Chain A
Amino acid sequence: ELKVEQNPLFLSMQEGKNYTIYCNYSTTSDRLYWYRQDPGKSLESLFVLLSNGAVKQEGRLMASLDTKARLSTLHITAAVHDLSATYFCAVGNTGNQFYFGTGTSLTVIP
């Protein structure tokens, strides 16, 4: 079974600061997803990364994928309070099975 680990599990950061969330996975995968979940709400798709070296950016969030290292990062630039949420990475395999990480709970402090 594919294992997906995220770190940190909890992140408290001040507005305006930068930080990176890491997602490691245990076996070869050809696709990686990042989702956002607000408290009591469902998951919202942020990024889909399909190839080694893929980089995608949306606003203050940038995601990258290194398939050789089995690592994806979600970089937050100049955090604002609206980014407070839980962020999940999910890895898909060739059997179309998806495995989610445990999530990173982000709190941005004014």
Chain B
Amino acid sequence: EAGVVQSPRYKIIEKKQPVAFWCNPISGHNTLYWYRQNLGQGPELLIRYENEEAVDDSQLPKDRFSAERLKGVDSTLKIQPAELGDSAVYLCASSGDGFFLEQYFGPGTRLTVT
């Protein structure tokens, strides 16, 4: 079974530039999460999707971040414009139905804003 796929794996951009991250969850997983992980810290949830609907985006900085999940499968997270403080690893995770809600994480995208 293929895992969660993310691209790109690494991205270096200058501040004020836009950037986008892509995630393909495990097949059949209806729930998709985007997390941001700063160096030396645990992941922090940015947004959670149930199928196509964003059900929890309370931690998403909406002035510069946006996300979409078309057709309830792939998802894209965008930052525009990027700031120095956005440098972090962006993790995508997915989970299936059921009480366990065990999340499976992708390899992440390491973003460096210079």
Contact = CB atoms under 8 A, between A and B. Distances in A.
Nearest to B58: A97
Interface residues of A, number: 23
Contact of A103 (B41, B48, B100, B105): B41
Interface stretch (A14-22, A43-51, A52-60, A74-82): A43-51
A103 B42 CA distance: 6
Contact of A43 (B40, B43, B56): B43
Contacts of B60: none
Interface string B72-113: 000000000000000000010100000111111111100000
B60 to A, nearest CB: 13
B43 A100 contact: yes
B54 interface: no
B2 to A, nearest CB: 14
Interface of B: 31, 33, 40-45, 48, 55-56, 91, 93, 99-108
